[in-house]
Amino acid sequence: MTVVLRAFARPDRDRLAALAAEPGVALWNPFPPGPLGAWAGRSNAGGHGTTHRTWAVADPADDRLLGTVAVFGRGPVPGGSGHEAEVGYRVLAAEAGRGVATAAVSAAVARAAAELGVRRVRLFHAVANPASCRVAAKAGFVLSGELCGLVPYGDGACHREHVHHRAV
């Protein structure tokens, strides 16, 4: 599976709205409150900080939106060069199960290394979200441990989480 990471564009609007409305996205990786168009504009402008990028994930065949992937900077790698980051992702349910998320995470990690100097990436997901665990493993992340989650998900609850890591 090959995907393209690109800026958000006007034709993405309906598929972005559909993605935000999906129950799995609303539960496990909800969009921030507010208009999606404004969020996409801020993402394109790199407006979330110097080591934060959010991309539209598109099909190279017809450029249709398949999902989103983001890399969030977490600061310098302790005792080393480069930065740590966290990765997050969403895929439209109609496009799921054919490797989109795995390809998007791999591409985002490569872009983050080349463009942002990221050298270590962490990936958090709820233990109750096994598809995301599978994405982590397929994208080369190693399971580091299990946490009592502190950040509420879309249902307002703090779920137990796996943390995975990958050096770049």
Ligand X SMILES: CC(C)(COP(=O)(O)OP(=O)(O)OC[C@H]1O[C@@H](n2cnc3c(N)ncnc32)[C@H](O)[C@@H]1OP(=O)(O)O)[C@@H](O)C(=O)NCCC(=O)NCCS
In sequence order, the 6+-apart residues with CB closer than 8 A to the CB of 45 are: none
| 160 is a site residue for ligand X (CB under 6 A) | no
DSSP 3-state of 110: helix
Residue selected from 9, 77, 96, 127 as contacting ligand X according to rule CB under 6 A: 96
Q: Which is nearer to ligand X, 80 or 152 (CB)?
A: 152
Minimum gap (Å) between residue 11 Cβ and ligand X: 20
| 102 is a site residue for ligand X (CB under 6 A) | yes
Residue selected from 97, 142, 146, 157 as contacting ligand X according to rule CB under 6 A: 97
* C-beta atoms surrounding 75 within 10 Å: 9
Residue 24 and residue 28: Cα distance in Å, rounded?
6
Q: Which is nearer to ligand X, 62 or 78 (CB)?
A: 62
| 90 is a site residue for ligand X (CB under 6 A) | yes
Residue-wise burial string across 10-22, b where 16 or more C-beta atoms lie within 10 A, e elsewhere:
eebeebbeebeeb
**What are the beta bridge partners of residue 86?**
72, 122
Question: How many residues in total does the chain contain?
Answer: 168
Dihedrals φ, ψ of 110, to 5°? -65, -40
Single out the segment in contact with ligand X by CB under 6 A; choices: 3-11, 31-39, 96-104, 107-115.
96-104
In terms of Cα–Cα distance, which of 90, 75, 80, 76 is closest to 43? 90
Q: Which is nearer to ligand X, 36 or 82 (CB)?
A: 36
Q: Which is nearer to ligand X, 51 or 129 (CB)?
A: 129
In terms of Cα–Cα distance, which of 158, 76, 86, 71 is closest to 122? 86
Site string for ligand X, 70-89 (x = CB under 6 A): -------------------x
Q: Which is nearer to ligand X, 45 or 151 (CB)?
A: 151
- Give me the residues that bind ligand X (CB under 6 A), please: 24-25, 28-29, 89-91, 96-102, 125, 129-132, 134-135
